């Protein structure tokens, strides 16, 4: 897998293997990456991977200039993606069907934050 280290995935799952998780995705695209990322989303949506692992895209939006942020805090796209559990996420990214089109995401994104979250309020 091109974007996640196996030891990071192990720590991620160990923190809460069965509880639901919503991933905050912050992305800054490489030149031309926005269209490549939309190809990734199309493949993701049509591949059956999302249904297989219970993935729900809660929100996806185009970023604009930040009102308040540290330097470099502007993002081209923001997404919230819900998974039934951390294990579901790891199983998905290790799935050969997912890996067949993950390169589109890797080619599209220059910088990213993938922040797991759980409900707090």
What CATH number did the domain enclosing 10 receive? Answer: 3.30.70.100
Residue 80 three-state SS = strand
The pLDDT-based confidence of 72 (bands split at 50, 70, 90) is confident
- State how many domains the chain has: 1
Average pLDDT over the chain, rounded to an integer? 93
In a domain, 15, yes or no: yes
The pLDDT-based confidence of 70 (bands split at 50, 70, 90) is confident
**Mean pLDDT of the 51-76 span:** 90
In a domain, 1, yes or no: no
In a domain, 55, yes or no: yes
What is the rounded distance in angstroms from the CA atom of residue 111 to the CA atom of residue 29? 7
Residue-wise pLDDT tens digits, 1-40: 356 888 999 999 999 999 999 999 999 999 999 999 999 9
What is the rounded distance in angstroms from the CA atom of residue 86 to the CA atom of residue 45? 20
- Quick one: pLDDT at residue 109? 96
The residue segments making up the domain with residue 21 are 6-63+75-116
**Mean pLDDT of the 78-84 span:** 97
What is the rounded distance in angstroms from the CA atom of residue 60 to the CA atom of residue 62? 7
pTM: 0.90
In a domain, 70, yes or no: no
In a domain, 68, yes or no: no
């Amino acid at each position: 897998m091109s974007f996640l280290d196996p030891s990071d995935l192990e720590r991620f799952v160990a923190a809460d293997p069965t509880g639901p998780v919503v991933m905050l995705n912050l992305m800054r695209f490489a030149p031309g990456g926005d269209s490549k990322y939309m190809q990734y989303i199309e493949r993701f949506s049509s591949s059956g991977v999302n249904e297989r692992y219970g993935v729900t895209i809660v929100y996806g939006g185009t970023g604009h200039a930040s009102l308040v942020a540290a330097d470099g805090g502007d993002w081209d796209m923001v997404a919230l993606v819900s998974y039934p559990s951390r294990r579901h996420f790891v199983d998905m990214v290790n799935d050969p069907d997912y890996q067949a089109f993950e390169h589109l995401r890797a080619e599209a994104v220059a910088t990213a934050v993938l922040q797991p979250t759980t409900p707090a309020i």
